[in-house]
Structure 1
Amino acid sequence: MAVFTPVTASQLEDWLQNYDLGDVVEFRGIQSGIENSNFFLTTTHGQYVLTIFEKLTAEQLPFYLDLMRHLASHRVPVPDPMPRRDGSLFAELNGKPATIVTKLEGAPELAPTPAHCIEVGQMLARLHLAGRDFGQHQHNLRSLAWWQENVPAILPFLADSQRTLIEDELAHQSAFFGSADYASLPEGPCHCDLFRDNVLFSHTADHARLGGFFDFYFAGVDKWLFDVAVCVNDWCIDLETGVLDRARVDAMLRAYQTVRPFTPAEERHWNDMLRAGAMRFWVSRLYDFHRPREAEMLKPHDPGHFERILRERVKAAAPSATR
């Protein structure tokens, strides 16, 4: 069970004295999650999620929570942080920062169809546009500088072919990030981790209704195209091979561009950004696998999944590849 910091009924009752959320009806831990302790909280006022942050600090939290509140105020379906009586969005619980957010409806769709991809693509574009007037700035903390810092630490664990791939891709992305075209790409707050398990859907007999996006704790300011690429690399692929599913890719990209069309530079560098999205998660999974933190409590994800995806994207960029 992914609850690292337990909360007793009396601790919860005391902590809730600083909220106007009514009386507790139900409180239980959520088994999923690898970064934080999460609990479903039902009160006489509604349904919520209480999160205790196991790694993020009080200094880091305002960007994420304020961004979620900003997006919710712009009618983007995301968890809305509940203010305490003093107006703050979090406070210490059992020695760690904690917050309460609204609970979204639905469940993750782990076998998406083009119809699901349409819903996600349109809403991701709406999220990007809604973030344009968000006043805070924090860059994506898992972008190029993080790769450059951490790739040397994982090189000793890699086979020759893996070292060649990761070093070549790091050089390619360094050149891309340093280009004038990259600088011209539109940017703003991004989710940066919009995988299938971070989106909820409610289903009826003939329609899949998007419930919302959650888990914004890897969010940051980045190129919007990067956010789209991360999404496509998870939602629109064959999970065994990493090969893109053209029907789902077309559905998501067409839907996104009905809200925000790509610029010519974004169209030119679509494959470069797909490679960047794959690189980001291959590096982080390699690091978690080979250099786990001493207190790591859950099994890390398989790094080979994003190695396969990156190899597919590099192959697609080769001169002989079918365009």
Structure 2
Amino acid sequence: MSVFTKVSHRQLKAFLAQYPLAQLIGFQGIGEGVENTNYFVDTADGRWVLTLFERLNYDDLPYFLGLMDHLARRRIPCPMPVAMSNGKTLSELNGKPAAIINRLCGGSVLFPNVAQCRAAGELLAQMHAAGRSFPMQLDNSRGATWRSETATLLIPQVDQDTAALLDDELNAQRTLDLTELPQGVIHADLFRDNVLFVGDRIGGAIDFYYACNDALLYDLAVTVNDWCFEIDGTPNAARAHAMIEAYRALRELTPAESRAWPLVLRAAALRFWLSRLYDWHFPREGDLVHVKDPAQYRRVLEYYRDNGPLPLA
């Protein structure tokens, strides 16, 4: 959630006229995140988030908005897109596709405790269950093909040791086929900054713009890698155990998933190392742009390569 496209008060007021919302009070750009332009918007009848989609495929946007609506109607705590007076949820602002969603209560936590990790594990399993009835399909835009192509693009830009690590890891993961594992709708980016808490209670999950259909286990690996590692690249065993146990209490893993777990954890770590490396070497222009440190996910990947996976039990 960064600000790449500026919006004026006059432009936003005209945009909001399409919606059954009250008078605009104020708005503010959101600096976190790396993909879309986001603003907090306050009106006389509520608090909202305006998103301008910067790089996402326009044809994919109904999937993301439809999924949020689907999950919210099944009592998953996530934003619900606001429909315009014509019933549509997708509009345009400053030449970019745009949407309004309701703003949820709570705040993200930088250093989650065990109870919060347990709650996040439960939420992920509940989302996977609720997503089974979502009828739309969308491939993972950051899947194996993207990982290979992005690594190839980055290898000439990085130092020799980094290039060798990327090449070796890609070779190691060629034996991993996520399509052989149980599939479903996944969030694919359920990081700490995408889950809001009120105390230890979840207020909501946000930022569904990487959601897709892929291996459910991959979604668990993405979440564990963010929530259960310290900044120095070492895992927190108590947090990992709480998250995995809570998830498995609602969805038990198959034997194939248990066997694939080591490489799936590494694939999830590689995906975010690559995306951060890309943003580091090919930065985008914009106000309040937030570029995350790629070294964090290199440390996570190297931990798995040196020590093996976090236990599933």
Q: Which interval holds the TM-score relative to the shorter structure?
A: over 0.9
Q: Distance in 2 between matches of 1:149 and 1:43?
A: 44
Equivalent residue, structure 2, for 1:186: 182
258, 278, 291: which one aligns with 1:287: 278
Partners in 2 of 1:280 and 1:85 — Cα distance? 39
Structure 1 consecutive aligned stretches of length 4 or more whose deviation exceeds 4 Å: none
What is the deviation of 1:53? 1.8
Check conservation: 2:113, 2:239, Cα contact below 8 A: yes
Residue matched to 1:316: 307
Q: Does 1:305 align with 2:280?
A: no
1:223 aligns with 2:219: no
8 Å Cα contact 2:34/2:291 also seen in 1: no
Structure-2 residue corresponding to 1:112: 112
Give, as a single letter, the amino acid of the residue that structure 2 aligns with 1:259.
L
Name the residue aligned to 2:231: 239
2:251 is matched with which residue?
260
Gap regions ≥5 residues in structure 2: none
State whether residues 194 and 206 of structure 2, in contact with CA within 8 Å, keep that contact through their aligned partners in structure 1: yes
- Report the CA distance shift for 1:80/1:273 in structure 2 as closer, same or farther (over 3 A): same
Output one character per residue of 1:16-39: Cα deviation in whole Å (capped at 9) or x when no partner.
Answer: 222112222333333333322222
Deviation at 1:151, TM superposition (A): 1.3
Contact 2:53/2:96 (8 A) holds in 1: yes
What is residue 60 of structure 2 aligned with on the other side? 60
Aligned to 1:170: 170
Q: Distance in 2 between matches of 1:163 and 1:263?
A: 35
* Kept in 2: contact 1:48–1:101 (CA 8 A): yes
Q: Verify: 1:48 aligned to 2:48, yes or no.
A: yes
Q: Which amino acid aligns with 2:283?
A: P
Within 1, Cα distance between the matches of 2:129 and 2:71?
Answer: 10
| Secondary structure, aligned partner of 2:131 | helix
Give the counterpart letter for 2:201 in structure 1.
R
* Alpha carbons 2:60, 2:138 under 8 Å: kept: no
Secondary structure at the residue paired with 2:17? helix
d(CA) in 2 for partners of 1:198, 1:134: 21
Counterpart residue identity of residue 43, structure 1: T
1:201-260 per-position Cα deviation (integer Å, ceiling 9, x unaligned): 012xxxx111111111122111111111011111001111x1211101100001111111
| Superposed displacement of residue 82, structure 1 | 0.7
Note the residue ranges of structure 1 that are not aligned, 5 or more in a row: none
Give me the whole-angstrom Cα distance separating, in 1, the residues matched to 2:212 and 2:98.
20
Amino acid at match of 2:208: F
Q: Distance in 2 between matches of 1:4 and 1:291?
A: 15
% identity of equivalent residues: 43
In structure 2, give the amino acid aligned to 1:155. Answer: I
The separation in 2 between residues aligned to 1:222 and 1:75, in whole angstroms, is 22
